[in-house]
Structures are given as C-alpha cells and as structure tokens.
Amino acid sequence: MAMPPTEHEVWDRLRSMLRSAISHCGDLAKLPAQGPSYLAMIYELEEIEGDARWIGFNRQDARWNAFGWEMSSFRKRIGDALRAHHARTIFLHMQKMMQGALDEAEKMKNAKTGRRGPILPRTRPGPHRESRPVYVRPSGLLVPSTVQ
C-alpha cells in the first residue's frame, strides 16, 4: 500500500508544476509546434488543481479549493485560446496570470490567517423565503396556512 504524500512533497510538486505551466504558456505564445506544450500544460493544470484541493482539505482552508477551481477553469479556457486569432497575446497574458498564481500560492503558504479552525467561504444571503406559518400534515406534507 502506497503512503500518502507529505505536505512538503505536495508543495514541491505544486510549485514545480506552476513554474512549468508558466514556461509552457511562453512556449505556446512563441513556438509554432503547439501540440506537445498544450498536452503538457493540460496535464500540469490537472495536477495543480489536485494539489491545491489536497492542500485545502488537509489545511481545512477553502481558499485553496478556490485556487484549484481557478486552475480548472483556466484549463478549460486553454483550448479556446489556442484556436483564437490572437493566440500569442492571449498566452503572454496567461503567462502573467500564471506567474500571479504562483506568487499567490507562495504568499498563502506561509501567511498568517488570523483565525483558528477551518477557513470557510463567506456565506451568501439566501434566496427570499416566505415567512408565513405553515401547517404540517401527518403525512409530512407542508401546506401554507390560509390564516394571516
């Protein structure tokens, strides 16, 4: 049975995959043969997403899950960018975005959170709910009360 990776191994893989993805963004902007760089970048973005979700689960920090979701959406947009008319400028911009993601990951790794326990996303206000009283039938069916 294989041992689960340590946090240090996951951090190392996350940083190296982010650096490699930055390099592949530059290759996609400059090199005419885009297939190998595209396939490598798709693989790296999937690994980055998985590593970010692993860190989010083990640290109980939902910010890392949001980071993983951003990498997932970035992976989905790569193919559209490749087929665009101005792919060079798009990939140069994506290279800057990936560098920003690496900087953000480095900052979140060691930054103080200022709280104890899990870091959860802020709850949004719920949809409008009626405040009329209801009558519960013995069958469990909820019926709005007609008495105001």
* 83's tokens: 């087929």
Could you tell me if 25 and 94 are in contact, meaning their C-beta atoms sit under 8 angstroms apart?
Answer: yes
Q: At residue 32, does pLDDT exceed 90?
A: no
Could you tell me if 34 and 28 are in contact, meaning their C-beta atoms sit under 8 angstroms apart?
Answer: yes
Where is mean pLDDT largest: 13-22, 85-94, 104-113, 135-144? 13-22
What radius of gyration, in Å, describes the C-alpha atoms of the chain?
23
**pTM of the model as a whole:** 0.75
Collapsing DSSP to helix, strand or coil, 144 comes out as strand
Integer Cα distance of 51 and 20 in angstroms: 15
